[in-house]
Amino acid sequence: MRGHPEHHHHEGRGFGPGGPGGFGPGFGGPGFGGPGFGRGHGFPPGFGPRGGRRASRGDVRAMILSLLAEQPLTGYGIIQAASERTNGMWRPSPGSVYPTLQQLVDEDLVEQAGEGKRTEYTLTDSGREYVAGHAEELRKAWEAAPGRSEETDALMESAMKFMGVLHQFKVASTDEQRAKAAAAIDEARKALYLILAE
């Protein structure tokens, strides 16, 4: 079950809620990274595609069952689908997905076909019955996915708007305006740290 099989593109929504997309490339400063404005290095710890709390074993189990209720998937396909479903906010690790898959196989909720990296997983009849009887539980697991909350989405949306303003300063401002903007950003950064210290 090691290796990375071909990606199974996942279009459905099913149990997993969508949300606003992440940051595109282009604006710097610690936490707003990517090539472009300044010397950014991506999101700060706790934010972005890998941020948020660590998923519990129950979350991973529910995620796998709900995704397999929609279509058969490889282990790698499950990881990709979870990432797409949460707009990159949650990408479960192979170390959490594959042992959980094996446990579900042992419980006769999931069956596997194929070998190696092309091993594909699908629900058994018992697995489909379980999903039908635990729909609310599965939905709540997605809502609790790491990094997902209305507050997080609002923060990311505000940050994207802020980056739009930074872009304007990059392409259409004087040196004096940039100096004033730098001072304002420093004040905003200090204010944010004060909030974290509350």
pLDDT tens digit sequence for 86-123: 777 778 889 999 999 999 999 999 999 988 888 999 99
Q: Which of 173, 62, 159 shows the shortest CA–CA distance to 109? A: 62
pLDDT given for residue 187 in this prediction: 92
pLDDT tens-place string over residues 129-138 = 999 999 888 8
Q: Which residue has the higher pLDDT, 127 or 40?
A: 127
The continuous run of DSSP H or E covering 120 comes out as strand 120-123
- For 4, the token pair is 């990375």
Give the C-alpha separation, 75 to 97, whole Å.
7
| Residue 162 in this model has a pLDDT that exceeds 90 | no
Q: Which residue has the higher pLDDT, 111 or 17?
A: 111
Round the average pLDDT of the chain to a whole number and report it.
73
Q: Which residue has the higher pLDDT, 165 or 88?
A: 165
The pLDDT > 70 percentage for the chain reads 66
Question: pTM score, two decimals?
Answer: 0.49
Under 8 Å CB-to-CB from 4, ≥6 apart: which residues?
76, 117
Domains of the chain: 1-14+26-147 (1.10.10.10), 149-198 (no CATH)
| Residue 124 in this model has a pLDDT that exceeds 90 | yes
| Residue 14 in this model has a pLDDT that exceeds 70 | no
- For 182, the token pair is 């730098």
pLDDT given for residue 84 in this prediction: 85
Helices (H), the chain: 57-68, 75-85, 94-106, 125-133, 135-143, 150-171, 175-196
| Residue 151 in this model has a pLDDT that exceeds 90 | no
pLDDT given for residue 126 in this prediction: 94
Average pLDDT, integer, range 160-164: 82
